[in-house]
Structure 1
């Protein structure tokens, strides 16, 4: 337990503490390790894609919930881009198609029909529960805390790079054009982290607040880990 007389971390120290939470990221989950080693079956890959799609499905709702609580105009102007990143914008073609469309193309490249993916019929209850809990957190929390929870994006670029490096040879039956999602998310994650960190470092200034921020980030990391626990159980080797 922290006490009021404990000095807060400096901004540099606080950021180091946040980044150190990467040891809990689901890149280290046994299912992800097997997937990156090329050891998953087609059924497991398709099961992962279908269930992870539900996470893509709720992200715009989560971001809209943050906007609904946010009274800072500058933050709203920046944060709305995240909704468009997933839902798409302009003519919805090419880079403007959005993350949900890119993930749909991943599903199709792996043999999952668009209608089948969007029906959510393969989403297991624990994955749905975890994702819905994340949306509920964003609705009920101060917007700065919900922003802090998004900082799992700090750890995302490497997991995307791993898939881009390994999947073409490990899972050649997945058409390579389906990997667009992983490629496009790398620069977007880096952009989002810059803004999310700025909000978090400015808002959580006492030691108690900083430790609370670590707890928020752990909560989000636990959601991602729990999703893979559920997928791992639903699609055994």
Structure 2
């Protein structure tokens, strides 16, 4: 009989959570585009491009959460998780995050039509967001919950924008920051639920825990690709390069 080694044993709950949190080193807050944003180096057009493209991700979030609900047989989990949809869609009384993001677009100088028409969304952003939604539709609901755990790292980036934008981008209307202020409390609540499900479900073996880390890395990659695509879409291309890009292959 083969002896069980330390590398076969599951990490303790505390060790597993620490491994998950360590993934924050790859969060898109460290992407060059987001570093430029924090340092106040983006042009107005680049910031507008970011807002317009990220709207596609915002409208994908409740679709992802609806997919999780449709795959989850646990009533108690569904009762807690469903609030995420109204957080973004609104509930007829309270304005949701999607509407708050549209107002962010207006605060940076876009029209409602600019944002909601999706005409400014790059193909790379569409591909990455659609891949994330499809993952939630096709994989076990616990894996989809795990993929949402990038919200572990979100409060910091929201606070960063609230603190730095009034100084770095004083031309942005203050009401545009409502979305980030709203998510400060919502994300912390969401983390508690998502982390609890992940720690419970994936702690049965080391292999399962490593699978959870792979899933979280997948979501980090999605966010990184979104930032890559936005950076490319908002980079000025010379006229001769534009002509080349239009030539048939």
Q: TM-score, normalised by structure 2?
A: 0.91
Distance 1:230 1:115 in 2: 21
> Greater Rg, structure 1 or structure 2?
2
Give the superposition deviation at 1:236: 1.6
Aligned to 2:129: 131
Distance 2:4 2:131 in 1: 31
Give the superposition deviation at 1:90: 3.8
For the aligned residue pairs, the C-alpha RMSD in angstroms reads 1.2
Cα deviation code 1:3-42 (max 9, x no counterpart):
9850000000000000000000000000000000000000
Match of 2:188 among 182, 187, 190: 190
Distance 2:92 2:9 in 1: 48
Cα deviation code 1:179-236 (max 9, x no counterpart):
1001110110000000001100000021000000000000000000000000111112
Distance 2:23 2:90 in 1: 31
Aligned to 1:140: 138
Matched, 1:84 2:93: no
Gaps of 5+ in 1: none
Aligned to 2:178: 180
Count residues in correspondence: 231
User: Secondary structure at the residue paired with 2:42?
Assistant: coil
Q: How does 1:77-226 map to 2 (within 5 A)?
A: 77-91=79-93, 96-205=94-203, 206-226=205-225
Cα deviation code 1:77-135 (max 9, x no counterpart):
001000000000142xxxx2010011011000111111221000000000000000000
Q: TM-score, normalised by structure 1?
A: 0.96
Q: Which runs of 4+ in 1 moved over 6 A?
A: none
User: Secondary structure at the residue paired with 2:82?
Assistant: helix
User: Secondary structure at the residue paired with 1:97?
Assistant: coil
